Amino acid sequence: MTASSKPTISFEFFPPKTEKMEAALWRSIEALAPLEPSFVSVTYGAGGSTRERTHDTVARIVRETKLAPAAHLTCVSATREEVDAVIRAYAEAGVGHIVALRGDPADGVGSAYAPHPGGYAYASDLVAGIAAIGGFEISVGAYPERHPESATWDVEIDNLKRKVDAGASRAITQFFFDDDLFESFLERVRAAGVSIPVVPGIIPVHNFTAVAGFAEKTGASVPKALTERFARVGESVEERNRAAIDFGIEQVADLRARGVEHFHFYTMNRADLVTDIVQALGYHCED
Ligand code: FAD
């Protein structure tokens, strides 16, 4: 594979809760930075619980690295004025990219969502708010297996279309394990006339039980073959890491063969597995 044929990559991190986690995050950022991702995104805790930590992490990325950060932002538990203040603070900190999300219900995934009375109700409203302030690249979430609250595919795709019409220029997907589902989703999106890049979100299966539990909450299916495959993996960290890397390499290679040009990795603030997986895409830290 030549350097020019390498696909684009980007990474997601979450804001650290403790000094120890902060040190681990920065070790990962330093290890992954030489791979020159097109951007690195930082999540926003449920209910806006990490507002300051997300901002501080993103602002530090601007100050101390050459990476282009993207700040996640949600609609939950905040008025429009409060959310707009966060958006303006990002502009002041030199952040030019926001991943605009509705956020999960304040009582947790699976409970009923009620928009804040004075807030942005859904992601499309937030995208419009960010676009009205101006100056930001805007990415949004997308769901190859349909968002659990979308009753039909028409509802799902119409919602994505609304987000694009409001100003989003990229969709990043929920993670998935069955690449056929991603391809079918992409066909639906394109058939609806939506032409923005749809970037698959790739999660390294560092801990199968944890990832499968997370998948259940978010509506991502776990193929039986994958469950059986990880059931055969030994208990040692080395064996688990090897299994995660092998599956990740197979998935990105398969998606690449299907024409994917950009991969977004849910790093879980770890550099090791992602570094090994992106080697299958032609990336090497010494590049
Ligand atoms: P929306 O696009 O608003 O859609 C959510 C649901 O509401 C859909 O079923 C849609 O059809 C429906 N809907 C839309 N508009 C209306 C309307 N007007 N009336 C009725 N129904 C409507 N969560 C966090 O808390 N922090 C994060 O940092 C974070 N990062 C994420 C990153 C990615 C790439 C993804 C895919 C998800 C992320 N999430 C995050 C999770 C996300 O907040 C949840 O999946 C949430 O439930 C939906 O967010 P959304 O932006 O897709 O919502």
Q: Which residues pair with 138 in a beta bridge?
A: 98
3-state DSSP helix/strand/coil percent for the chain, to nearest 5? 45, 15, 40
Residue 49 is predicted with a pLDDT of 75
pLDDT, tens digit, for every residue of 4-59? 489 999 999 999 999 999 999 999 999 999 999 999 999 998 777 788 999 999 99
- Binning pLDDT at 50, 70 and 90, where does residue 2 land? very low
Whole-number Å distance between alpha carbons of 2 and 49? 43
Give this prediction's pTM: 0.97
Is 30 assigned a catalytic role? no
How many other C-beta atoms can be found within 10 angstroms of the C-beta atom of residue 249? Answer: 16
Contact between residue 140 and residue 163 where contact means Cβ atoms under 8 Å apart: yes
pLDDT at 3 over 60: no
Q: Which residues pair with 201 in a beta bridge?
A: 175, 264
pLDDT, tens digit, for every residue of 95-121? 999 999 999 887 777 788 999 999 999
185 vs 49: which has the higher pLDDT: 185
43 lines ligand 1 (CB under 6 A): yes
Give, using CA atoms, the residue closest to atom 15 of ligand 1: 122
262 lines ligand 1 (CB under 6 A): no
**Alpha helix segments (H runs only) across 150-280:** 153-166, 179-191, 208-218, 224-231, 237-257, 272-279
Give, using CA atoms, the residue closest to atom 29 of ligand 1: 43
> Distance from the CA of 192 to the center of ligand 1, in angstroms?
19
Helix (H, G, I), strand (E, B) or coil at 34: helix
101 lines ligand 1 (CB under 6 A): yes
Residue 121 is predicted with a pLDDT of 97
> Distance from the CA of 286 to the center of ligand 1, in angstroms?
37
159 lines ligand 1 (CB under 6 A): yes
- Binning pLDDT at 50, 70 and 90, where does residue 1 land? very low
Residue 4 is predicted with a pLDDT of 47
Residue 45 is predicted with a pLDDT of 87
> Distance from the CA of 138 to the center of ligand 1, in angstroms?
14
pLDDT, tens digit, for every residue of 202-224? 999 999 999 999 999 888 999 99
Structure tokens at 280: 């299958």
Architecture, CATH, for domain 3-279 = Alpha-Beta Barrel (3.20)
Domains of the chain by residue range: 3-279
50 lines ligand 1 (CB under 6 A): no
* Residues contacting 242, CB < 8 A, separation 6+: none
- C-alpha closest to that of 198 among 256, 139, 250, 154: 139
> Distance from the CA of 51 to the center of ligand 1, in angstroms?
18
pLDDT, tens digit, for every residue of 119-171? 999 999 999 999 999 999 999 999 999 999 999 999 999 999 999 999 999 99
* Residues contacting 167, CB < 8 A, separation 6+: 127, 128, 130, 131, 138
Residue 286 is predicted with a pLDDT of 61
Residue 107 is predicted with a pLDDT of 79
Whole-number Å distance between alpha carbons of 252 and 277? 8
pLDDT, tens digit, for every residue of 56-72? 999 999 999 999 999 99
